């Protein structure tokens, strides 16, 4: 027996799935990035329709300029954790600006969005606590829960009745319960029923955590996410997010109106033992946050393109998520068919994400698009035309 034997079935499954050729959907190499929405892939000019670059800020001149200055003045990296030598003045400034943006008192910046969930959940929830999480939550949320000592209970996706039933069973433990949901779920693009969930959180005197990774910069009049759109910001105890989507960089954060959040700096292992984000990343993220605040037209353009693509794919007969958001996923009946269609889309110059079970529902798979404010009308039309050959 070998320690690698556990992977043998995966090797065989992968070989069977990809044996027909057409490329590997999980190891796409981008040869040259041309813009926020185009790249050279396999020597072909390709529209990027699977990058989560919702506001198209990866090539914004202001973000690039800020990053360049920070790179030249502060170097390529911090070479230390936040608790050691890794807290620079701009880290503190970004935390202050995030707190001001969300109208709360405290903010902590992490090195990735994944680490933000790990750092918060593994530290905040202890042995006598309970975490109630939506079944469709991201892997980083599940991993953060597993690293905690709390009791972990799943409730059915977006099912408020199931959530309340499970809370009711906890009795007086509800005051030590974290409810964890997402603003926009990354597989089907649906929103959490956050107003109803927030009301239940208040009724049972629990605590509510919302991961706004895919909804920051996308939802709400000011781009603060689903909590703003639903009008329940005062009922949300903690918000987690990432820099790697609308903000066009890498990194993560947590904000809260509870001043006790600051204690995570002294207790959260993912925060204490991970090198802090590079100065150039912090600089570009600060600029991107200002753009979200001052350029609502980017959200307007994003939603115009989102509605257009969603309606066109729906009219072609594709089975989509329940509502239009910048995450638009078409359900395909089998994994084999999914790989085939993904390969054909790439040949037609359109890159999307292929999602396999168990992340995709009902044993099928998803062709997952993410719309960007950077997509031109012509690019949206080309994406539609590429899909139309399958309908």
Angle at 365 between CA 58 and CA 371, to 5 degrees: 25
Domain boundary among 294, 319, 337: 294
Domain membership of residue 3 (yes or no) is no
Q: Residue 148 and residue 128: Cα distance in Å, rounded?
A: 11
Instruction: Copy the structure tokens of residue 232.
Output: 């329940």
Domain limits for position 44 = 15-48+296-388
CATH number of the domain encompassing residue 356 = 3.90.1150.10
Catalytic residues: 186, 214, 245
Would you say residue 6 lies in a domain?
no
74 three-class SS: helix
Same domain, 35 and 165: no
Tokens of 227: 């909590």
Q: What is the CATH number of the domain that holds 243?
A: 3.40.640.10
The reply to whether 74 and 183 lie within a common domain is yes
**Strand pairing category for 319-320 and 327-332:** antiparallel
Tokens of 233: 């910001």
For residues 210 and 102, membership in a common domain is answered with yes
pTM above 0.85, yes or no: yes
The pLDDT of residue 391 is 66
Domain match, 321 and 177 both: no
Q: Assess whether 199 and 171 both reside in one domain.
A: yes
Per the structure, how many domains does the chain have? 2
Distance CA 2, CA 132 (A): 38
- Is residue 71, in this structure, part of any structural domain at all? yes
Indicate whether 342 belongs to any domain: yes
> CB of 134 within 8 A of CB of 180?
yes
Residues 227 and 254 in one domain: yes
Alpha-helix residue ranges (DSSP H) falling in 316-376: 335-347
Residues 289 and 304 reside in one and the same domain:
no
133 within some domain:
yes
In degrees, rounded to 5, the angle at the alpha carbon of residue 152 between the alpha carbons of residues 150 and 235 is 85
pLDDT for 359 equals 82
Separation CA 307–CA 380 (nearest Å): 11
Q: Do the domain assignments include residue 8?
A: no
> Domain check: are 222 and 160 in the same one?
yes
User: Are 288 and 329 found together in one domain?
Assistant: no
Residues 335 and 370 in one domain: yes
What integer pLDDT is reported at residue 369 of this predicted model? 98
Asked if the structure places residue 272 within a domain, the reply is yes
Could you give the C-alpha distances from 107 to 17, 49, 206, 287, 351, in angstroms and in order?
44, 32, 21, 17, 35
Domain boundary among 270, 294, 318: 294
Is the residue at 35 inside a domain?
yes
317 & 383 share domain: yes
Q: Are residues 121 and 216 in the same domain?
A: yes
Point out the domain boundary residue: 238, 264, 294.
294
pLDDT by residue, tens only, the chain of 391 residues: 799 999 999 999 888 888 766 678 989 999 999 999 999 999 999 999 999 999 999 999 999 999 999 999 999 999 999 999 999 999 999 999 999 999 999 999 999 999 999 999 999 999 999 999 999 999 999 999 999 999 999 999 999 999 999 999 999 999 999 999 999 999 999 999 999 999 999 999 999 999 999 999 999 999 999 999 999 999 999 999 999 999 999 999 999 999 999 999 999 999 999 999 999 999 999 999 999 999 999 999 999 999 999 999 999 999 999 999 999 999 999 988 999 999 999 999 999 999 998 888 777 899 999 999 999 999 999 999 999 988 6
pLDDT value at residue 20: 66
């Amino acid at each position: 027996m070998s320690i690698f034997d556990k992977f043998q079935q995966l090797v065989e499954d992968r070989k069977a799935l990809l044996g027909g050729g057409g490329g590997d959907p999980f190891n796409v190499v981008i040869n040259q990035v041309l813009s926020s929405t185009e790249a050279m892939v396999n020597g072909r000019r390709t529209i990027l329709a699977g990058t989560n670059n919702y506001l198209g800020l990866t090539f914004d001149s202001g973000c690039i300029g800020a990053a360049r200055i920070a790179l030249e003045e502060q170097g390529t990296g911090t070479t230390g954790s936040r608790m050691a030598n890794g807290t620079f003045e701009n880290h503190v400034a970004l935390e202050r600006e995030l707190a001001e943006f969300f109208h709360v008192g405290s903010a902590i910046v992490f090195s990735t969005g994944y680490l933000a969930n790990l750092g918060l959940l593994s530290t905040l929830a202890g042995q006598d606590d309970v975490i109630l999480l939506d079944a469709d939550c991201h892997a980083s949320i599940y991993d953060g829960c597993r690293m905690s000592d709390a009791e972990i209970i799943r409730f059915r996706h977006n099912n408020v009745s199931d959530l309340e039933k499970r809370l009711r069973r906890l009795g007086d433990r509800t005051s030590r319960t974290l409810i964890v949901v997402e603003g926009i779920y990354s597989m089907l693009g649906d929103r959490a029923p956050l107003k109803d969930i927030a009301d239940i959180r208040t009724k049972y005197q629990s605590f509510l955590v919302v991961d706004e990774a895919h909804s920051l910069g996308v939802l709400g009049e000011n781009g603060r996410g689903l909590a703003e759109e639903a009008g329940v910001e005062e009922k949300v105890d903690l918000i987690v997010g990432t820099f790697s989507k609308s903000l066009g960089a890498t990194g993560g954060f947590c904000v809260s109106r509870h001043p006790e959040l600051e204690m995570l700096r002294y207790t959260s292992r993912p925060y204490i033992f991970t090198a802090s984000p590079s100065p150039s990343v912090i600089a570009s993220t600060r600029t991107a946050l200002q753009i979200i605040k001052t350029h609502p037209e980017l959200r307007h353009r994003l939603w115009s393109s989102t509605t257009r693509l969603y309606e066109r794919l729906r009219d072609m007969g594709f089975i989509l998520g329940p509502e239009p958001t910048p995450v638009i996923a078409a359900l395909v009946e089998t994994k084999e068919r999914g790989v085939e269609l993904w390969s054909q889309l790439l040949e037609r110059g359109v890159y999307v994400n292929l999602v396999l079970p168990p992340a995709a529902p009902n044993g099928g798979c998803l062709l997952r698009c993410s719309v960007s404010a950077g997509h031109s009308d012509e690019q949206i039309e080309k994406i539609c035309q590429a899909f139309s050959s399958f309908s």
